[in-house]
Structure 1
Amino acid sequence: MKRIYLFILGLCTPAILSAQASIRFKVPGQDLWGLKDRSGKTVVPATYSSIGKFKNGRYIIYKTSFETGMMNEYGQILLPPTYSSIYDLDSIVQVRKDGKSGILNRDLKEVLPLQYQHLQHFDSFYIAKYAGKFGVLNPDFSIAIPFEHGIVYHNSIYSRQFLLYDNGKYALADIRNKILVPQEYEFISGPQYGLYVGMKDGKITLFDDKGKKLWNSDYKDCIILDADHIAVKNAEDIYGVVNRTGKIVIPFQYHIISAINEDMYIVQNTRNLWGVVNATNKVVIPFDYAESFAFKKKIAPVKNSKQLYGYINKLGKPVTDFIYDKANLFSGDYALVTKNNLSGLVDVQGKEVLPLKYDIVSVVIDNHVYVIKNKEHFILDLSKPDAVVKKYDYIDIGDYLQHLLDEKADYPILARNKDGQYGYIDAKGNELTPFMYYNAGSFIDDHASVMYKGALVLIDKHGNILPER
């Protein structure tokens, strides 16, 4: 299994794919998409601004970003591109048109009319807005909570409880429309760790997930840290910690209590310095640090009074010197550090495994790290300190990482050499195709569109050309 450690790149949630007879293609450098069959014959000319991944036997197609439709793998239109949005949710298809949302079944037949101003799908219910009022629908589209509320909130994927808001007041109800907390609170937040916090007439009330009052107080603020620890602020703007019964477990002596992290409280004292105390308020890590911090891999990046960063362990002992302008949480076995606007990596022992000499350090895949220096892209092997595997004018590593989420670890990586020619490499920098393309795009459905000898052709991951027909 590949070990992948990200430092600057975001990833998207992968779609569920299935095999298809056709291949999507995109004209390099243009937002024009079409379909070819696997013999190379053009099924749909490149006239769409985008074609989504093949799912449930069909594609979502985009004439423009607001003109959405659906076609099958043979290019036949299933839904004309007249919808503002389409979401293919496996068992249903949610559509929106002319400001109204509805539901189609798997056969694309309407099962819930396009009459809802708002429609949000969850696993076991829908939050909807009809005739200006919010309510909740069951999976069979029967009404669970009537359409009579100003707003309905749902804050947890694990709960079927809802915050109802009307006329400046909140209530808490369950999916059967049973009121758990009456509609008399100016504010209700939660659930967090199965707890809700309500504000009424300047007083804070803590509720469990059945709506039972656990305690009521004059505290000015309330932060749920876990199921039995709640940070609260008193009239003097000083924080302490109470439990579910309201008993004080950490005295009121801190300016901020930010979190519990690995069974410890990260706190800021009244001198604006950060440290760590345990559940008995014993100082575990002295108040020596200028910023809040968190532990990962039992190590935390911290900033000292000289505004320099280093790493400490859970005992508060330094793991590195305090020499960095910025230090980050660990991603796997490595953490990104910077100094004088240059970046490198340290490992969990605090050793610099990549010198601080790169403009960007983006990702580690196994022992290979992708970096940029002076606008040139490099692949380095961390098992051979600072050893360059390959150097390119450009590497599109982000596209490769997206395909890894689809469990396609052998997907080629688009790169450009110093002569401006495009080709494809693997994660270790080995060339998979010749660098001979004038322009090239990402791999889509196991093929990539490239400009070769003045023509747009499709190639497979070995560089074989799919004949144009």
Structure 2
Amino acid sequence: MKKIYLALSLSFLIISCSKKEITSSKLQSRNGVYYEINQQKPFTGEVIDKYSNGQIAIKKSLKKGSLNGSFKTFYSNGQIKESFNYKNGILIGDYITYFENGQIEIKSNYDDYGVNIGKRYDEFGNLISIISNNEFFKASEFSTELILIQKNNKYGYINKIGEIVIPPEYFYISDFSDEYEGLAIVSKNEKMGAVDKTGKVVIPVEYNRFYFVSDGLFKFEKNKKYGFIDKSGKIVIPFKYDMALWFSAGLVPVKKDDKYGFLNKIGETIIPFEYDDASGFINDLAYAKKDGKYGFLNKIGEIVIPFEYDSTDYFFEKLAVVKKGDKYGLIDKEGKIIIPFEYDKISSYSDRSNKTFSKDLKELISVKKGNKYGLINKTGKIIIPCIYDSISDFEDNLTIVKKDGKYGLIDGTGKIISPCIYDFIYGFIDGISLATLDGEKGAINFEGKVIVPFGKYDYLNFPKGEVIKVNKEKKWGYINKYGKEIIPIGYYDSVSDLSEGLILVNKLEYTSLGLKTVSRYIDKTGKTIIQFMGYSSDFSEGLAAVKRNRKSGFINKLGMLVVPFEYDMVYKFSEGLCTVVNDGKKGVINQYGHVIIPIIYDNIEPISEGIFAVVKNGKYGFIDKLGKIIIPFEYEDDDRRNFWFKEGVAVVKKNGRYGYINKFGQALTKFEYTRADDFRDNQEAYVEKGSERGYINKKGEFRKLNN
């Protein structure tokens, strides 16, 4: 009898201790806590999802509704794909991903501050990159054996075996690059300086702002005065100047008592302080302004081109655009007039906003006379007379022109490829341009030949992935770039754009559940890959939002639900993260559905360069992709524009004025602009300050536009 009782007890113990197993589709999230559907107690147990062949796809453990313990994903052949661990909903410990052949791809480690250090391998086990703070760096880049680390929002460096070389005590620390003469720029307690590779402070951390290194000298600002320091920490140009530009030809223009002069690298005055404006030297000449007129100086201060112009630009390719009265011309370095002063506009070589100057046809310059545009070469020879209303960018020796309200095509010699007969030509993609002719839509190629007849379709989208979305009588379909129909026009109620190789279509159909919207994902051949009952969205980073019973989740490209239906609204995934909405508040989840940024914010801008701009109580701040607040909520909201990082810089607003900050929250400019655009091509940004207009670079230097 005792044996029977003991056996029953052991059986009960085994059953009671075994973990409960369910699929993701049977779970729902309530404020970030997972429950079985229609249950009130948070779920504890294992969640297992499988492929159609029966192999496990995802296996994860939950405890009291939070991810806790092992989380693994697998390839469809059963080989492990990812392995990591959670503790009370927080990713912690080793994170490992595998190639399908079983070789480790990534091995890193999460602590309370995110990934500190890890390694990435190729399929043969060779180390190819180092991971630091969730960023990948080529292993060869760490010739100094130093790797950036972060702790409590402070930065330092470790070596490749994990030893701390520079403690994480700086609000900002740069890399040790040749650009900084082997030093690193640091910031601490709102002051800046520089350290060497051992952590020794070489330039005292006492300056208000660092700008750049020019000819081996570091430009700093202290108490609104500018000076230069060498790499040993010696001040070579004292901090007594109101403005300083950069060194060129061994000289730097500086401003003192409202006048500009030029200093050499030991601070001696080479060109006296007698000019109202001045530039650096380009092609051995610098422009300067005196008594309201511009001219050019050489590096010993001699006047090479007299002060007789109302505005000027730099010399590029030995030519400069200058203005005299209300007309523009072109001069060479000797002051010889190459193009006479007869044009109302000449595209400046140095104007990076110019969209007409050809990248492929370097000799051509856009000019304007009256209200008409033409092209000339650098000798002043007229290539295309000023007869066009507009001339667009060149692409493959072809440009779109407008004349008498109609559009056509010409090449770089002025030869007419297609006469100006079209209502509009939209621009070429993969050798095809959409166009309209007498109100009808069609498409032409580079040779001006019609490849989609005008009037056959009511509407055509731009070509994408060798297919073109078309519309006829308010019905949509797809053709390829040769005009062959791929998805029948009018069969589906809605047809999306091609996204990640799939086209989403919807159709209201009779099903076993009645009249329902059925979503299908179709490839470029017309084959149905996924079918879903309910509303869906396009794929982004391998996941598509789907909706059921007024709640949204995500499926993968196998049609599996990977993020449960628990959000009022979701956005697309970007950089592995997605903004979600519940009860009017926004937060961010990752591709596994884990909440990275709590759902408590009034607004979250799309992620840009790994950073979210976030609004709380009417103030902007910035949060990184680990969910950490890296720049506090101290900037003003603005209905006229969005704020995000571009080229490492963000426009922000404080006290009603715009300024620029870097990713560490350091101000790159003063907050004094009434308009401030994003940086373009890592070069300059357009700004306005009262009646002044111009461009500013990342060094904070302002290039005024002359009216």
TM-score where L is the length of structure 1: 0.64
Equivalent residue for 1:319?
Answer: 338
Q: Deviation digits for residues 296-315 of structure 1, max 9, x if unmatched?
A: 232211111x1321111221
Look up the equivalent residue of 1:268 and give its one-letter code: K
| Structure 1 position 290 matched with structure 2 position 310 | yes
Q: Distance in 2 between matches of 1:93 and 1:414?
A: 47
Equivalent residue for 1:225?
Answer: 247
Equivalent residue for 1:54?
Answer: none
Q: Distance in 2 between matches of 1:184 and 1:289?
A: 43
In the alignment, is the contact (CA less than 8 A) between 1:441 and 1:448 conserved in 2? Answer: no
Look up the equivalent residue of 2:240 and give its one-letter code: D
Q: Distance in 1 between matches of 2:196 and 2:403?
A: 55
Secondary structure of the 1:262 match is coil
Equivalent residue for 1:353?
Answer: 383
Equivalent residue for 2:298?
Answer: 278
Q: Deviation digits for residues 357-416 of structure 1, max 9, x if unmatched?
A: 43432212465322234654321244346775464333332x64xxxxxxxxxx222222
Structure 2's unaligned 5+ residue stretches are 1-74, 76-80, 83-104, 124-129, 350-356, 487-524, 528-707
Equivalent residue for 2:154?
Answer: 133
Q: Distance in 2 between matches of 1:211 and 1:145?
A: 19
After TM superposition, give the deviation of residue 275 of structure 1 in Å: 0.8
Q: In the superposition, relative to structure 1, how do residues 443 and 174 fare at CA in structure 2: closer, same or farther (>3 Å)? A: farther
Q: Deviation digits for residues 127-168 of structure 1, max 9, x if unmatched?
A: 665423244566888756432223335698845643222223
Q: Distance in 2 between matches of 1:155 and 1:358?
A: 52
| Structure 1 position 259 matched with structure 2 position 277 | no
Q: Distance in 2 between matches of 1:106 and 1:222?
A: 47
Identity, in percent, stands at 24
Matches within 5 A, 1:199-238: 199-200=221-222, 204-216=226-238, 218-226=240-248, 228-234=250-256, 236-238=257-259
After TM superposition, give the deviation of residue 206 of structure 1 in Å: 1.9
| Structure 1 position 170 matched with structure 2 position 192 | yes
Look up the equivalent residue of 1:171 and give its one-letter code: G
Matches within 5 A, 1:296-315: 296-304=316-324, 306-315=325-334
| Structure 1 position 146 matched with structure 2 position 167 | yes
Q: Distance in 1 between matches of 2:296 and 2:316?
A: 15
Q: Distance in 1 between matches of 2:236 and 2:147?
A: 30
After TM superposition, give the deviation of residue 277 of structure 1 in Å: 1.0
In the alignment, is the contact (CA less than 8 A) between 1:301 and 1:329 conserved in 2? Answer: yes
Look up the equivalent residue of 1:355 and give its one-letter code: P
Secondary structure of the 2:380 match is coil
In the alignment, is the contact (CA less than 8 A) between 1:191 and 1:209 conserved in 2? Answer: no
In the alignment, is the contact (CA less than 8 A) between 2:219 and 2:226 conserved in 1? Answer: yes
Q: How many residues align?
A: 359
Moved more, 258-267 or 341-350: 341-350
Moved more, 260-269 or 292-301: 292-301
In the alignment, is the contact (CA less than 8 A) between 2:202 and 2:233 conserved in 1? Answer: yes
Which of the two has higher C-alpha Rg?
2
In the alignment, is the contact (CA less than 8 A) between 1:295 and 1:329 conserved in 2? Answer: no
Matches within 5 A, 1:397-408: 397=427, 400=429
Q: Distance in 2 between matches of 1:191 and 1:164?
A: 14
Equivalent residue for 2:423?
Answer: 393
In the alignment, is the contact (CA less than 8 A) between 1:392 and 1:415 conserved in 2? Answer: no
Secondary structure of the 2:373 match is strand
After TM superposition, give the deviation of residue 217 of structure 1 in Å: 5.4
After TM superposition, give the deviation of residue 287 of structure 1 in Å: 0.8
Q: In the superposition, relative to structure 1, how do residues 93 and 348 fare at CA in structure 2: closer, same or farther (>3 Å)? A: farther
After TM superposition, give the deviation of residue 356 of structure 1 in Å: 2.9
| Structure 1 position 180 matched with structure 2 position 199 | no
In the alignment, is the contact (CA less than 8 A) between 1:172 and 1:181 conserved in 2? Answer: yes
In the alignment, is the contact (CA less than 8 A) between 2:432 and 2:445 conserved in 1? Answer: yes
Q: Distance in 2 between matches of 1:140 and 1:339?
A: 66
Q: Distance in 1 between matches of 2:161 and 2:449?
A: 53
Q: Distance in 1 between matches of 2:367 and 2:200?
A: 52
Look up the equivalent residue of 2:341 and give its one-letter code: F
Secondary structure of the 1:225 match is coil
After TM superposition, give the deviation of residue 437 of structure 1 in Å: 4.2
Q: Deviation digits for residues 49-68 of structure 1, max 9, x if unmatched?
A: xxxxxxxxxxxxxxxxxxxx
Q: In the superposition, relative to structure 1, how do residues 423 and 200 fare at CA in structure 2: closer, same or farther (>3 Å)? A: closer
Q: Deviation digits for residues 280-327 of structure 1, max 9, x if unmatched?
A: 2221111111223122232211111x1321111221122222222322
Equivalent residue for 1:192?
Answer: 214
Q: In the superposition, relative to structure 1, how do residues 383 and 188 fare at CA in structure 2: closer, same or farther (>3 Å)? A: closer
Q: Deviation digits for residues 435-467 of structure 1, max 9, x if unmatched?
A: 54443334434x12332765522414x445554
| Structure 1 position 422 matched with structure 2 position 442 | yes
Equivalent residue for 1:19?
Answer: none
Secondary structure of the 2:336 match is coil
Secondary structure of the 1:260 match is coil
Q: In the superposition, relative to structure 1, how do residues 225 and 437 fare at CA in structure 2: closer, same or farther (>3 Å)? A: farther
| Structure 1 position 371 matched with structure 2 position 401 | yes
Equivalent residue for 1:333?
Answer: 363
Secondary structure of the 2:467 match is strand
TM-score where L is the length of structure 2: 0.44
Q: Deviation digits for residues 420-444 of structure 1, max 9, x if unmatched?
A: 2232412x43345545444333443
Q: Distance in 2 between matches of 1:227 and 1:220?
A: 22
Moved more, 335-344 or 285-294: 335-344
Q: Distance in 1 between matches of 2:107 and 2:404?
A: 48
Q: Distance in 1 between matches of 2:375 and 2:384?
A: 5
Q: In the superposition, relative to structure 1, how do residues 319 and 137 fare at CA in structure 2: closer, same or farther (>3 Å)? A: farther
In the alignment, is the contact (CA less than 8 A) between 2:442 and 2:452 conserved in 1? Answer: no
RMSD of aligned residue pairs (Cα, Å):
4.1
In the alignment, is the contact (CA less than 8 A) between 2:192 and 2:210 conserved in 1? Answer: yes
In the alignment, is the contact (CA less than 8 A) between 1:239 and 1:257 conserved in 2? Answer: yes
Which of 521, 526, 542 aligns to 1:468? It is 526
Look up the equivalent residue of 1:285 and give its one-letter code: I
In the alignment, is the contact (CA less than 8 A) between 1:355 and 1:386 conserved in 2? Answer: no
Q: In the superposition, relative to structure 1, how do residues 395 and 167 fare at CA in structure 2: closer, same or farther (>3 Å)? A: same
Q: Distance in 2 between matches of 1:93 and 1:309?
A: 61
Q: Distance in 1 between matches of 2:164 and 2:385?
A: 61
Secondary structure of the 2:338 match is coil
Secondary structure of the 2:311 match is coil
Q: Distance in 2 between matches of 1:458 and 1:100?
A: 47
Q: In the superposition, relative to structure 1, how do residues 198 and 381 fare at CA in structure 2: closer, same or farther (>3 Å)? A: closer
Q: Distance in 2 between matches of 1:359 and 1:347?
A: 19
